[in-house]
Amino acid sequence: MDQMRESVFACIGDLSGRSFLDIFSGSGVIALEAASRGAVYVEAVENDPGKRKKLLGNVSISPVRINCRFMSAELYVLRAKRAFDCIFLDPPFPYRFKWELLERIAASGLVSDETLIMMHRPWEDCQPAEIPALQRTESREYGRSVVDFFRPGA
């Protein structure tokens, strides 16, 4: 996980002054990393009540406030009003609706013309031939998992 996180943030580059959204945040490590790398507005979305205490504890050491939203990813996307510069999704590997959720995110208010979207997934769970409104720009393998990078556009 550490190697994947380091590699992802190396691909993102400078986050100074940018916004970052971490969906399926878990312990909040990705959100915290974004904040420590200069992101000025960070949100973490997590639905699992068992992870709430750990997430709140981890983000409490952040150099900037990390806004935690405790709700399902689907509900969060449905209610989205603010666009982010970077969006990172790390759904549980058994989660069956990752590609549908990615399509919903692409069509939501979370995405601007410049948004970078990243999704961590098992390598066996291949991307559909086409995702409306998104173009995959890169994929990186980390053992049995992959992080796909997407930009708006067909």
Rounded Cα–Cα distance for residues 1 and 145 (Å) = 10
Name the residue range of residue 12's domain. 2-152
- pLDDT band at 154; cut points 50, 70, 90: low
pLDDT of 1 higher than 70? no
User: Residue 133 region, left (φ>0) first, then alpha (ψ -120 to 50), else beta?
Assistant: left
In order of 36, 95, 132, 149, the CA distances from 9 in angstroms are 11, 24, 26, 12
Please, is 21 exposed, middle or buried when counting C-beta atoms within 10 Å of its C-beta (0-12, 13-18, 19+)? Answer: buried
Q: What tokens were used for 75?
A: 């509900």
Averaged over 58-67, what is the pLDDT?
94
Q: What is the pLDDT of residue 93?
A: 86
Number of structural domains in the chain = 1
Comparing CA positions, the residue from 100, 87, 94 lying closest to residue 148 is 87
pLDDT per position as a tens digit, 90-134: 999 889 899 999 999 999 999 999 999 999 999 887 766 678 889
pLDDT of 17 higher than 90? yes
* Cross-strand pairs, 149: 118, 138
Q: What is the pLDDT of residue 60?
A: 94
H-helix or E-strand containing 75? Answer: helix 73-79
Using the structure block, give the residue that is written with the tokens 């796909």: 148
Specify the CATH number for the domain of residue 119. Answer: 3.40.50.150
Rounded Cα–Cα distance for residues 152 and 154 (Å) = 7
pLDDT per position as a tens digit, 132-141: 889 999 999 9
pTM of the model: 0.94
